[in-house]
Amino acid sequence: MIEQGIDWPKLLISCKNNVMEKVTPFLKMTKKPQPDLGIGAGGDPVKQVDLAAETAIVGTLATCGVSFTLISEESGEKTYGKKPSECFVTTDPIDGTTNLLRGISFYATSIAVSKTRNLNGVFAALVTDLFHGTTYSAQKGIGAHRDNKRIAPSQNASLSDAVIGLDLNSYRVERIAPRLTDLIGKTKHIRHLGANALELCYVADGTIDAFVDIRGKLRATDIAAAWLIVQEAGAFMTTTDGKPLNFKLSPKQKVEFVATANDAMHEKILSLIRPEKDME
């Protein structure tokens, strides 16, 4: 997909290749404590590896002469080139930093490109599993791919056979967990792997049947790329009310969502999540 004279799919591959190269030295330091280098724009502590990955992405784009507004979990918003309002690059340079630093082999880089500051303006996306080297990509209207092969979600609609990802990670668990007990009780296998962009790609390619994060803690930067991959694969991703997701692409923007492989599974899961008002 050529936009503004740029072959974005090719350029995103160059970005992830550079990220993989720059991240490699850090993989030798797993399990050693890494200092916090302050708090990132998304509100979490920043590690050196996060900055190395972000620098790799920005450096690749800048070397190619691209004008863009960066929307990053680490540095926040910055502009590059002469026409930065024509293109927005939303990134979580490393999704799953804790996994990476602990030596848990599940972490990714995530990059989305849009013409506007809104999620529904995203037209090209890439999420790469940095440990296994698997790349998920999507272009608006053209489909989603894993390492250049077209992907499709699972057709399973039965919770008694399902593998469902659920993020209950350390946030308002006393309010969130009770809303999910019906779903947990009816689901065969519950998982949380620790890198939500990649877990959404697992919904897109049929590895798992759904992924749910209703904490209201996750940032827009974590899911902007995976959202397009889920859509283009033909899976479903909405609010808990079943409304389409759309929000401002900003490092401060928080999101919650239900992503599922198919319509029938979507209806089932939405009906099992208790509304927040019932918790009052």
Q: By CB under 6 A, name the binding residues for ligand IPD.
A: 44, 92, 95-98, 167, 169, 194-196, 217-218, 222
Taking CA atoms, 149 is separated from 145, 156, 209, 212, 226, in Å, by 5, 21, 19, 26, 16
The region of 10-18, 31-39, 65-73, 134-142 touching Ca ion under the rule CB under 5 A is 65-73
Rounded least distance, CB 106 to ligand IPD, Å: 9
Q: Which of 41, 66, 89, 92 binds Ca ion (CB under 5 A)?
A: 92
Can you point out the beta strands (E) in the chain?
A: 2-3, 6-7, 68-72, 76-80, 88-95, 108-114, 122-129, 134-139, 143-146, 149-150, 163-166, 189-191, 210-219, 236-238, 254-260
Q: Is 241 helix (H, G, I), strand (E, B) or coil?
A: coil
The region of 7-15, 90-98, 99-107, 155-163 touching Ca ion under the rule CB under 5 A is 90-98
Q: Which CB sits closer to Ca ion, 49 or 180?
A: 49
Nearest 5°: phi and psi at 138? -155, 150
Given ligand IPD, Ca ion, none, residue 167, with its beta carbon under 5 to 8 Å by kind, binds ligand IPD
Rounded least distance, CB 10 to ligand IPD, Å: 25
The region of 15-23, 64-72, 85-93, 174-182 touching Ca ion under the rule CB under 5 A is 85-93
Placement of tokens 């006393």 in the chain: 174
Number of H helices, E strands in the chain: 7, 15
Given Ca ion, ligand IPD, none, residue 205, with its beta carbon under 5 to 8 Å by kind, binds none
Q: Which CB sits closer to Ca ion, 74 or 232?
A: 74
147 in Cβ contact with 243 (< 8 Å): no
180 in Cβ contact with 214 (< 8 Å): yes
Confirm or reject binding of residue 54 to Ca ion (CB under 5 A).
Answer: no
Q: Which CB sits closer to ligand IPD, 130 or 159?
A: 130
Rounded least distance, CB 40 to Ca ion, Å: 8
